[in-house]
Structure formats: structure tokens, C-alpha cells
Amino acid sequence: MSGERLPGMNGSMSRRSILAAGVAGSAAVLLGTGNASAAALVTQSEINSQPTFYEVNGAATSFRYDPGFYSRLEAWHVHWRNWTPYHWTAPHKIYSYGAYVNKSGMHGEGRAFDLARMLITNRDTGATFTAFNGRYDQWKNSTGDALRTARIRYWGTMASLHHHFRHVISYLDNAEHHNHAHIDNAISGSGDSSFTTGSATQTYFVQAACQYIWGISTGIDGDWGPQTQQNSSAALARAGYDGVITTQSRWLAFCKASAQQAWALVP
């Protein structure tokens, strides 16, 4: 069972949505045994040498991970840095609600991460700015350029995450993810992601990317249909590819191109 909300569930919470509640960030991120053997987890204070912080209190914090999942996070971050504009540089600050939590599901195995925000340095000015703000609860009522920038940067980073992970839950899925993006490798494991039209979560991302990144008017309802297929193929064609994103190679190309297009729009 993928645990994703499938089309037609009318917003009801899936098993995985319940398990991945964003507000679950608490002292439990560092304690307990959950489903994972304590000896099997690794404790890290950084991702790809960039420090991690606890979103609740802003403190520099070490989180515990399954080693394979942590490796995938590092692989994602390497690509994220390579795909972003040249002036987006270290140091970063990565804010999270946690990874391992003493509970059921992927968090209990140390194979999930709740990403709240990413702050990054502008190489040209030395100033720090918000490169990703998963706190939709904070910017959803913004207007004008502030809304456009936050939304495009949000979906650009989500595109990079979808490239690397099969499960990436956004604010479109439910209110519990209005303050973070949930990431896990329950299905994708040690490899890159693939796409299925039966996933409302992935379809939400495709529709949002078409609408907000590629500027192609697209309904955002989590249901794969002719319009979503046509518009995502049109976006893919702009990136120099043809066909439908239902093959893994085209899906990965769509994710990478969407990320790079987002950061070209709001560098």
C-alpha cells in the first residue's frame, strides 16, 4: 500500500498522511526506539555538510536516520545544489520537524524527513535568504511578488525531491502538510523515483508545476486526466523532450527541468 491519497477519497486522510503529521515535531525526534533498531540508525547534524536545525525552536539539532535513507537525502542535496543558480551557495541552514520518531511508519524506521525551510547564502552579496519555505501556513496569504517567489521556489525544490523520492507530500495533500514537506523512500528505496498516474500526490505536483512553474493553465485536483497529460507533455517538450511522463526517464527529465525552470524564474 503506497499510503498516498488516491483520487476520489475527497480529502480524507490516508494511513500514511496520519503517520506523517507535520506537527509531530517534538522531543521525540531524538528519543525512543520505534520500529528501527537503535544500532541501525545513524545520528547526523548535517546533510551534505550543511547543518540541520529543529523548526520548532530553531536550535541546531542532530537527527537519526536509516543509513540508506540518509544517503538518499545527501544525493538529493548534491543535485539540488548543482541545479540551483550559481550564486546560491553554502553555508545553508536546513530546518526540519524531524526524521526518526518513535512511532509507526517510515518515521519509525528513520526513513522519513519533514523539511520545513532551507536558508542559503547569496554568493554575490553574502546575504542569507530563504531558498525553500515549506511553511505554506506562513506565506499562503501573501500577494504579488512575495507569493509568486515563495510558491515557485517551493515547487522548484519539490521537483528536485520528486526526482529522488517516490513519496513527497505537499500542502496540496492535506492541512497537516501546510508547515512542511514530508519525504520518504518507502517505495523508491535506494533509487530515483518513478511516476504512476494513480498517485494523487505525484499528480498534484505535476499540475502545480505546469501551473506555477511552466505557466500552463492547469486544474489542480490530484486527478490524472487528458489536460494534465497534455500540459505536462507540453512542459516536457519545452525542456527538449517528447512523449508522456509515465516512463521513468521522462518523469525524471520533467522533475529536473521543472526545478531548473523554477530557479530561472526566481533566481
Per-residue model confidence as pLDDT tens digits over 47-92 = 999 999 999 999 999 999 999 999 999 999 999 999 999 999 999 9
For cell 509568486, the residue is: 148
222 occurs within a structural domain: no
Among 143, 43, 130, residue whose Cα is nearest residue 94? 130
Specify the pTM: 0.86
211 occurs within a structural domain: no
**Distance of alpha carbon 202 from alpha carbon 158, whole angstroms:** 10
What residue spans of 184-225 are helical by DSSP H? 200-208
Structure confidence by residue, pLDDT tens digits, 150-170: 999 999 999 999 999 999 999
248 occurs within a structural domain: no
**Distance of alpha carbon 146 from alpha carbon 151, whole angstroms:** 9
CATH number (domain holding residue 124): 3.30.1380
6 occurs within a structural domain: no
Number of folded domains that form the chain: 1
| SS3 of residue 46 by DSSP | strand
28 occurs within a structural domain: yes
Domain carrying residue 62: 15-189
Q: Which residues contact 193 (CB under 8 A, 6 or more apart)?
A: 162, 163, 164, 165, 166, 248, 251, 252, 255
40 occurs within a structural domain: yes
247 occurs within a structural domain: no
230 occurs within a structural domain: no
